[in-house]
Amino acid sequence: MISYVIRKVLFSLVVLVFASIFIFGLVSLAGDPLVELKQNPRIRAEDIQRISAIYGLDRSYPEQYLFWIKGVLQGDLGTSFKQNAPVNEIIGQRIFPTVLLMGTSILITMIFAIPFGIYSAIRKYSWLDNLGTFFAFLGFSMPIFWLALILQLVFGVYLTEWAGTRVFYTSGISDTNSGGGLVDLIKHLTLPALSLAIIQSAVYSRFQRSAMLDVLSSDYLRTARAKGLSRRTVYLKHALRNALIPTVTLLALYMGTILGGAIITETVFAWPGLGFLFADALFKGDFNVARGILLLIAVLVVFFNLVADLVYAFVDPRISYD
Amino acid sequence: MTEREIAAGGTQAGLEPSPAALGDEHGKVEGRTQREIIWRRFKRHKLAMVGGVVLLLLFLAALAAPALAPYEYDEIDYTAINQGPNASHPMGADNLGRDELTRVLYGGRVSLLVGLSVGVFSTLLGAVVGIVAGYYGRFVDVGAMGFVDFMLTLPFLPVLLVLGKIYQFTAITIAAAVALLVWMPIARLVRGQVLSVRNQEYVQAAHAIGVSGPRTMLRHIFPNVVGVMVVQATLITGEAILIESALSFLGLGIQPPTPSWGNMLEDARTTMTTQWWLTYFPGLMIVVTVLCVNFLGDGLRDALDPKAVE
């Protein structure tokens, strides 16, 4: 057991080392961060050399990587090429909006998708289940940015015209005129969170349904019914608990995908989170910021994978450790 | 590696055979070939049939776009700027007076080309890795699956965006990049299948009479994973169409003036409130196409899944 844990942890560390090399190298290829300075005829060559030296850009890629990773290991992601501020600070400001958006969308998804998935499994092939299947297919097949655009049109434009006043905002996190506050935040948060929640619900409601179906056909559930327990007790006490495990695991394992999806949603709604920052940094050539975000995502993904593996090993006695 | 398989086992969410596919006919004992059995099962899945036919039509329309399209895709007509749908422009015209229907047709070429290429290449790549890892086992398996785990930690959309920044993407290069980033789940699935047949008697028998490793893989193991591969290829095709549209929408995929449904939607954003047709039609095309692909995949799964009740 202990050797299993050690092996998993070591593997995660090796993966992170390779991921950091990959991320650094890939982003380095994306372009020259000083290209604007070099194209500017009013900036002298020796100034460019001086700036290159400050950022370490005059050294070879392996040296640059070692310089970068040394900082990263000490908790310093470097300095922005464009804003003259530490990357830590720039990224730090964007974490809360992303966590807020992701958290809200996941909460909506769970509140809706888990009960619906369980209902669909218990009442398999009922009209509501079939309707759910249809909407799940629609959700699987819809680009999230298009759904976001349609929500902007319907709830941002048509509803505003119809109501004569702005109910939901389609960009940003707050409005200077309204003076902030919780109501203002909700008006901004609703549409982006809903876009993400609708697409995620398609995945999770179906996943919950099939997890519940697996449990419902198991022997121990038949035993529970056979010894005279009521349907209600069997479903809620025996089946539900076991059927929730795969869903929670899926959520952990797909954290990276969810964060990747945030790039699109945050960009459409100009939501000031990490995804929007990443797209923006990439376009502007602020590569240390882009690297920092990629590394952050990789660390989170590896961490959640490790946690899922270890938790599984502890709770599920069927898993072998060799 | 069993923990992952338990987790992965459930990801085929909501894709059990539909009631129609399960309805078996008792009493008939006519001999049927495997192919007939599969075809009969597939035919019962009405949505998959519809999806297949619609996809075929879309595919033909995209192939014949130069002949079908009423205009050139980059033909600018100042008199038609921002016109809504009408007789000469059935889907309206954009802010340069280009015919939206023409551009939607040409955009379909990009989407279908990318989708199909990714479907084929990522599935082949995944299958090769999965079969080799599963068949040879030991350090080959450990190494291959370690690499799969590593690749899975890379967030593919951000990585694709960086790649799009490095290279000017064309349809073919997008397909190659996406294929290289989505093959891993297929490799895992195929490996699992290979592990379940590797130690069966007929494989050992082949081994015993001196059949070589590669030949065993090709003739005796590969046919067992074809079903899984076809289903996965279909589902990945749909996913790839969505990924391409997202990349192009973010401005790092197919570059204008070449139309793709994604970059047309990006163009549409600025005039979204007034020129609704520019937002609705390309988006609807994506949804209809991917929906048909997914219905087809669902039907194929029901038809090819050996565990399905017959």
Q: What are all long-range contacts of B138-142, with beta carbons under 8 Å and residues at least 24 apart?
A: B141/B191
Angle, helix A287-315 to helix A87-122, in steps of 10 degrees: 40
Please compute the mean of the pLDDT values over residues A78-87 and round it to a whole number.
84
DSSP string covering chain B: -HHHHHHHHTTSTT-SPPHHHH---TT------HHHHHHHHHHH-HHHHHHHHHHHHHHHHHHTHHHH-SS-TT---GGGTT--S-SSSTT-B-TT--BHHHHHHHHHHHHHHHHHHHHHHHHHHHHHHHHHHHHH-HHHHHHHHHHHHHHHHS-HHHHHHHHHHHS---HHHHHHHHHHHH-HHHHHHHHHHHHHHHTSHHHHHHHHTT--HHHHIIIIIHHHHHHHHHHHHHHHHHHHHHHHHHHHHTTSSSPTTS--HHHHHHHHGGGTTT-HHHHHHHHHHHHHHHHHHHHHHHHHHHHH-TTS--
What is the structure's pLDDT at B17?
Answer: 44
Place of tokens 């990714």: B118
Residue A138 pLDDT greater than 90, yes or no: yes
| B58 close to A (CB below 8 A) | no
Nearest to B291 among A138, A211, A320 (CB): A138
Q: Is the pLDDT of residue A56 over 80?
A: no
Residue A86: strand pairing partners: A79
Cα–Cα distance measured from residue B28 to residue B188, given in angstroms and rounded to the nearest whole number: 38
- Whether the pLDDT of residue B22 is over 50: the answer is no
Mean pLDDT of chain B, nearest integer:
83
Lowest mean pLDDT among A63-77, A172-186, A218-232: A172-186
Distances (CA, A) of A12 to A9, A21, A308, A320, B32: 5, 14, 12, 19, 51
What integer pLDDT is reported at residue B271 of this predicted model? 85
The tokens describing B235, both together, are 């589902």
Residue-wise pLDDT tens digits, A154-203? 998 899 889 888 888 888 888 777 666 888 888 899 999 999 999 999 98
Which of A29, A102, A33 has its CA nearest to residue A289?
A33
C-alpha span between A33 and B200 (Å, rounded):
58
Span of A117-121, A312-316, B121-125, B164-168 with lowest mean pLDDT: A312-316
Q: What is the pLDDT of residue A316?
A: 67
User: Do residues A278 and A87 make contact, with C-beta atoms less than 8 angstroms apart?
Assistant: no
**A136 contact residues in B (CB cutoff 8 A):** 14
Residue spans of the domains in chain B: they are 3-76+90-304
Query: Average of pLDDT values for B23-30?
Result: 53
Looking at domain B3-76+90-304, its CATH superfamily turns out to be: MetI-like (1.10.3720.10)
pLDDT score recorded for residue B9: 38
Indicate the pLDDT class of residue A98, thresholds 50, 70 and 90: very high
pLDDT tens digits along B228-239? 888 889 999 999
The answer, yes or no, to whether residue B307 has pLDDT greater than 70, is no
A-chain CB neighbours of B283 within 8 Å are: 143, 146, 149-150
Lowest mean pLDDT among A126-130, A299-303, B191-195, B303-307: B303-307
CB pairs under 8 A between A and B: 169
Beta bridge partners of A79: A86
Geometric angle at alpha carbon B255, from B251 and B260, rounded to 5°: 90
Mean pLDDT value of segment B10-23: 42
Q: Do A30 and B279 touch (CB under 8 A)?
A: no
What residues of B are in contact with residue A143 (Cβ under 8 Å)? 242, 245-246, 249, 262, 283, 286-287
Distance CA B70, CA B122 (A): 35
Which residue is closest to A209 within chain B, CA to CA?
B14
Distance (Å, whole) CA A204 – CA A84 = 42
Tokens 């049939």 belong to residue? B49
Interchain pair B7, A203: CB under 8 A: no
Per-residue pLDDT band for A44 (boundaries 50, 70, 90) equals confident
User: Is B137 in CB contact (< 8 Å) with chain A?
Assistant: no
The tens digit of pLDDT for each residue in B229-288 reads 888 899 999 999 999 999 999 999 998 888 999 999 998 888 888 888 889 999 999 999
Q: What is the residue-averaged pLDDT of chain A?
A: 86
How confident is the model over B283-298, as a mean pLDDT? 93
Cβ <8 Å between B157 and A261: yes
Residue A311 pLDDT grade (very low, low, confident, very high; cuts 50, 70, 90) = confident
Q: Summarize pLDDT for B35-90 with one digit per residue, the tens.
A: 888 888 888 888 888 999 999 999 999 988 888 888 888 888 888 788 878 888 88
What does the alpha-carbon distance between residue A157 and residue A167 come to, in Å, rounded to a whole number?
Answer: 10
CB A321 within 8 A of CB A3: yes
pLDDT at B18: 43
Backbone angles phi, psi at A126, to 5 degrees: -70, 170
Residue ranges of B 258-297 with Cβ closer than 8 A to chain A:
262, 265, 268-269, 272-273, 276, 279, 283, 286-287, 290-291, 293-295
Residues 6+ apart with CB under 8 A from B179: B117, B118, B121, B122, B125, B240
Question: Could you give the ipTM of this predicted complex?
Answer: 0.89
Amino acid at B163: L
pLDDT score of B21: 44
Alpha carbon A144 to its chain centroid, in Å, reads 14
